[in-house]
Amino acid sequence: MNGVHDMGGMHGLGAVVPEPEGPPFHAAWQARVHALTIASPARGNIDAGRHAREQIPGAAYLAMSYYERWFAGLCRTLLDGGFVTPAELASGKAHPAAFASPARND
């Protein structure tokens, strides 16, 4: 791959400066995104999540923080896998029929 998501290996973009030791998450929502991604039924394998994040358009990718990218990838894999509908994702609430079927493609 050679895209905006792979800038860490490109020359001329400056040094990678690691963060000092501290808590692994800067906000509670980041921990929730991480946990949801790991527990997601759409996860498949580690490459599935990475692939979903690599599909984010370049300008949007650069405007997002690390865990915003993870969240966007999680949303994409849940939608693509039929685990949620766009309406459910937008509202944050499951459709009542969602409890009758573990996966669907509405």
3-class DSSP state for residue 24? Answer: coil
3-class DSSP state for residue 19? Answer: coil
In-domain check, residue 6 = no
Would the pLDDT of 14 be above 80? no
Banded pLDDT at 36 (limits 50, 70, 90): very high
In-domain check, residue 77 = yes
d(C-alpha 53, C-alpha 68), whole Å: 10
In-domain check, residue 75 = yes
Query: What total of structural domains would you count in the chain?
Result: 1
Domain extent at residue 89:
57-95
In-domain check, residue 50 = no
- Max CA separation in the chain (angstroms): 53
**pTM score of the predicted model:** 0.77
